[in-house]
Chains A and B, each alone.
Chain A
Amino acid sequence: MEILDHISKHLRLGDDEMVLSLTKRAIARNIHPKTILDDGLISGMNVVGELFRKHEIFLPDVLMSAKAMYAGMDQLKPLFLKGGIPGRGKVVIGTVKGDLHDLGKSLVGIMLKGVGFEVIDLGKDVAPEKFIETAVREDAKVIGMSALLTTTMPMMKTVIDLLRQKNLRGKIKTIIGGAPITKAYADEIGADAYGFDAARSVECVNALLSD
């Protein structure tokens, strides 16, 4: 549908006002909210992720697109609640203790929300216990951890070890990501998944929850 392509295009351009009004127009045309989300907002965000990965755009562009994504999602959210579309489960995310870089993690949060997960974003500098307490209390099945610093990435291992001690490993799955993180590191510390980038993290969380 043409209007969805427009949403996607203006999201890519970071034009939150256009995304807002186009989303409203799409809703008024009775296009299913899930279709607007998938083929408008998320497809636009996927392109943004790809362009960023290829260094064709920079961080400011991504941030403006994320803003536009929120503008559209705010319109869709009440419809999802009303329509009773079942949630896809809860995910607890955060940047590990000692690390104050939360941009990548926030992007993952946006994308996860975009595909229908309930996301509990604990922010940055999150203590290991807090990840676990929150996941248990909220009955979340996945903990997502981010680190930008090589000095803070060992905190991810601390969280996973703590899960193991509490016999929660397997019941609560873990996914890790961030600039210094590699698949090898994820395997080494026993994370259940490695999020190469925001888009792939969403795929991984999907896979973890369907296991």
Chain B
Amino acid sequence: MKPILERLRSGEVLVADGAMGTMLFRRGLQPGDCPEAFNLTHPEILEEIASLYLRAGADIIQTNTFGGSPLKLSNYRLEAQTDRINRIAVSFVKKAAGGRAYVSGSCGPSGEMLKPYGTLEEETMSESFEAQISVLIDAGVDIICVETMTDLREASLAVRAAKSVSLSTPVMATMTFDRIPKGYYTIMGVSIEQAVGGLTEAGADIIGSNCGHGIDTMVEIARLMKKISGKPIIIQSNAGLPAQKGNEIVYPESPAYFAGKVVELIEAGVSIIGGCCGTTPEHIAAVRKAVDSIARVNN
């Protein structure tokens, strides 16, 4: 495969995969269980999920390592398993992808707050990210994805950790914004301008947003980002905000609705479109179709 950044530079729009958690819950993950512990007990499920997204047409498939940093794993007393948990996740996605899709190493928040708001030193956080990311890169991911960040300092530490492990591995970094009366901000108070500036300075190759309130707000976020940045933009939206229906969690945006926004995302300048919570292989298949039909028109 051509290097991912090269394809983006040539103007190609790539499709990323959808939710991992949603898929794991449907396969027996219980609320309260550590999602990454599945890597140790059910690696074949990782391969199955990756295959489903590959078949749906994803060009980029993420590893089940969102909470795979030793700091986060320590909540489940699994920090000593950091190496195995991350390595297994990469190897099973790689197996499923078979060179037909890029393997993206997911790296989510540490779950701790930096001083002065919390108790954590920057150095401790950096070490934790580095410990996880060095395994992901060693195991052979094509790209690192720092995601669902709300604190710009934390996001920057993760991006820098990735770059300190390997300068040649591309890094995408996405933050999660709320829409409030004065604009888009993360719960930690980071604006889109600050996010774009900070992530770029930290060395991210691709920037963007994930999770969030739904695909409509993502179109606006993408426009605002593109206005002030020349970096490729990635958008991985939730299928709307979740609601409880009896004992089930439902996400309101259907594959058709979700994919209906692809044209606006591409017009806004987005280079990678994927899904976050509540999106399924059906959502990604619909996005694939929409991306392909737009590409055909443009050619």
Interface residues of A, Cβ cutoff 8 Å to B? 55, 57-61, 63-64, 67, 97-100, 124-125, 149-155, 180, 185
Min CB distance, B180 to chain A, in Å? 4
Whether B33 lies near A180 (C-beta < 8 A) is no
B178 neighbours in A (Cβ, 8 Å) = 55
Whether A98 lies near B32 (C-beta < 8 A) is yes
- Bound complex: CA A152 to CA B21 (Å): 13
Whether A63 lies near B25 (C-beta < 8 A) is no
**CB-CB under 8 A for A59 and B75, given A125-B32, A152-B31, A154-B247:** no
**CB-CB under 8 A for A58 and B189, given A150-B244, A151-B249, A153-B244:** yes
A64 neighbours in B (Cβ, 8 Å) = 116-117
- Bound complex: CA A47 to CA B134 (Å): 45
Whether B113 lies near A63 (C-beta < 8 A) is yes
Min CB distance, B65 to chain A, in Å? 17
A55 neighbours in B (Cβ, 8 Å) = 178, 180-182, 185
- Bound complex: CA A151 to CA B187 (Å): 21
Min CB distance, B36 to chain A, in Å? 13
Additional A-B contacts beyond A58-B189, A155-B32 (8; CB < 8 A): A59-B150, A60-B189, A64-B116, A98-B30, A152-B31, A153-B244, A155-B31, A180-B244
B247 neighbours in A (Cβ, 8 Å) = 154
Interface residues of B, Cβ cutoff 8 Å to A? 21, 25, 30-33, 75, 111, 113, 116-118, 150, 178, 180-182, 185-189, 242-244, 247, 249
CB closest chain-A residue, reference B178: A55
- Bound complex: CA A146 to CA B154 (Å): 25
> For the complex, would chain B's binding face be called helix, strand, loop or mixed by DSSP majority?
loop
- Bound complex: CA A47 to CA B239 (Å): 35
CB closest chain-A residue, reference B179: A55
Whether A63 lies near B118 (C-beta < 8 A) is yes
Min CB distance, A108 to chain B, in Å? 17
Whether B117 lies near A63 (C-beta < 8 A) is yes
- Bound complex: CA A99 to CA B186 (Å): 20
- Bound complex: CA A61 to CA B75 (Å): 26
| Inter-chain contact total with CB atoms closer than 8 Å | 58
CB closest chain-B residue, reference A61: B189
Whether B33 lies near A98 (C-beta < 8 A) is yes
CB closest chain-A residue, reference B30: A98
- What are 7 residue pairs bridging A and B, where the CB atoms are less than 8 Å apart in the complex? A55-B185, A58-B188, A58-B189, A59-B117, A59-B150, A63-B118, A180-B242
Among A100, A125, A150, A153: residue with most chain B CB under 10 A: A150
- Bound complex: CA A100 to CA B108 (Å): 14
A61 neighbours in B (Cβ, 8 Å) = 189
Q: Give the 4 A-B CB pairs with smallest separation, nearest first.
A: A98-B32, A58-B189, A55-B180, A98-B31
CB closest chain-A residue, reference B186: A58
- Bound complex: CA A153 to CA B21 (Å): 16
Min CB distance, A82 to chain B, in Å? 30
- Bound complex: CA A75 to CA B41 (Å): 51
Whether A150 lies near B182 (C-beta < 8 A) is no
- Bound complex: CA A124 to CA B117 (Å): 18
- Bound complex: CA A98 to CA B75 (Å): 10
- Bound complex: CA A177 to CA B30 (Å): 21
CB closest chain-B residue, reference A103: B113
B118 neighbours in A (Cβ, 8 Å) = 63
Whether B32 lies near A59 (C-beta < 8 A) is no
CB closest chain-A residue, reference B249: A150
- Bound complex: CA A60 to CA B242 (Å): 26
